[in-house]
Amino acid sequence: MGVGDLTGARDRLRDLADRPPDLTAALEGVQTALHDITTFTWSALMTVDPETLLPTGGLVEGFSADACAPFWDSELLGPGYNKFTDLARRTDTVATLHDATDGDLDRAPVHTRLYAGLGVADELRAAFVVGSTCWGVVSLLRATVDGPFPDDEIRAVSSLVPLVGKVLRRGVVALDMEAHSTAAMCVVDERDEVLHQTVEAQRMLDDLRTVGVEEMGMPAIVRNVVTRARASRSASHVATRVHGTSGTWRRVSASPMEGSGMVAVMIEPARAADLTPILLEGYGLTEREIEIVVHLARGLATKEIAAELSISAHTVRDHVKAIFTKTGFTTRGELVARVFSEHLLDGFHAAVHRV
């Protein structure tokens, strides 16, 4: 890898960040940029739910459908190195399996279970964090013939982490809720096979399959939620937000059934409460700025917002200016209309019961 490769990758990502948001284009562009700066044979580039860090979609290269289950079982259930949840909390969010195991990859359960059979020399993982929010993760695998990831390629990936995070975050903003859809339900047995399902379930399950892999049976994204629900000892159910290949946000919840290994899975349109934090964080807003946008949507004046949040009116005005700069809007009315009406209003109307 040369300086020109890294510069080209940065330019590619900056160009993506300046285009109208498109998650598919973002994933493909990030994948190409990673190929520009490092050598790998297999990869899994995933967007994640910022709250749960469960995968919501992504782009897979090289892996067969059979690899998805052991990969996520190792990530969610067993001990291991460089867990995505750990990387997302670190200052340096990039790490390799070779470094973590001091070159003895057999110490890693995921290697003995999956990678050794593929002929993997090393794995590089990264969590793409912007501020304190993780928007995506990646696993890059090098073949034995290529050896471990060299230091210059690791540094190159690290240098692109903030920019990749912004590109993925911008792509997420483009995803919209499904305005009108019925909920779907299925029952999964202990082998993760669907025993029963409602009429809408198959269509929704098909929409949640991972791009680049011919998945049979239950999609890996849904299976991850089922696995987390079975493993949880502190919650009666696990829920997360996912998006399908159609660009539709959905809420997937899984609840273990008493006295068996079966799990009930509910798939339904994501509600406004599910998506509001993602949509607002997608513009790069801080927690305080999100609070202020919500108060603006309620029609509160500057002094009223200041009183609600126990800050000065001057501070509120500074936050509003920052919000306009980040979102590209110029008035409070435009901000509220675009963020809430375009992304959330249809879903809100669909959820309202009328008598």
Backbone conformation region of residue 8, classed left if phi is above 0, alpha if psi is from -120 to 50, else beta: alpha
Q: What is the CATH number of domain 3-173?
A: 3.30.450.40
* Residue showing tokens 């794995």: 123
Per-residue pLDDT of the chain (355 residues; tens, 9 = 90+): 676 888 989 999 998 888 777 788 888 999 999 999 999 999 989 888 776 677 777 888 888 777 777 787 788 777 889 999 889 889 999 999 999 999 999 999 999 989 999 999 999 999 999 888 889 999 999 999 999 999 999 999 999 999 999 998 887 666 544 434 568 899 999 888 899 999 888 888 888 887 777 777 788 889 889 988 888 766 677 888 787 777 777 889 999 988 778 999 999 877 655 666 666 777 788 888 888 887 776 667 899 899 989 999 999 999 999 988 988 888 877 776 666 555 544 443 343 222 2
Q: What is the CATH number of domain 177-272?
A: 3.30.450.20
Q: What is the pTM of this model?
A: 0.66
Q: In this structure, are residues 194 and 43 in contact, taking their beta carbons and an 8 Å threshold?
A: no
Q: Between 3-18 and 151-173, two packed helices, what is the crossing angle to 10 degrees?
A: 10
How would DSSP label each residue in 72-111? HHHHHTS--SS-HHHHTTSSS-EEEHHHHTTT-GGGSHHI
pLDDT value at position 273? Answer: 56
pLDDT value at position 179? Answer: 39
pLDDT value at position 345? Answer: 42
Domain ranges of the chain: 3-173, 177-272, 285-351
* CATH number 2.40.50.100 is the correct assignment for the domain at 285-351: no
pLDDT value at position 352? Answer: 28
Q: What angle do CA 174, 72, 150 make, to 5 degrees?
A: 85
Count of CB atoms situated within 10 Å of the CB of 272: 16
The reply to whether 3-173 and 285-351 are identical in fold is no
Q: In this structure, are residues 167 and 12 in contact, taking their beta carbons and an 8 Å threshold?
A: no
pLDDT value at position 48? Answer: 83
Q: How far is CA 128 from CA 60, 68, 90, 105, 140, in A?
A: 17, 21, 11, 24, 14
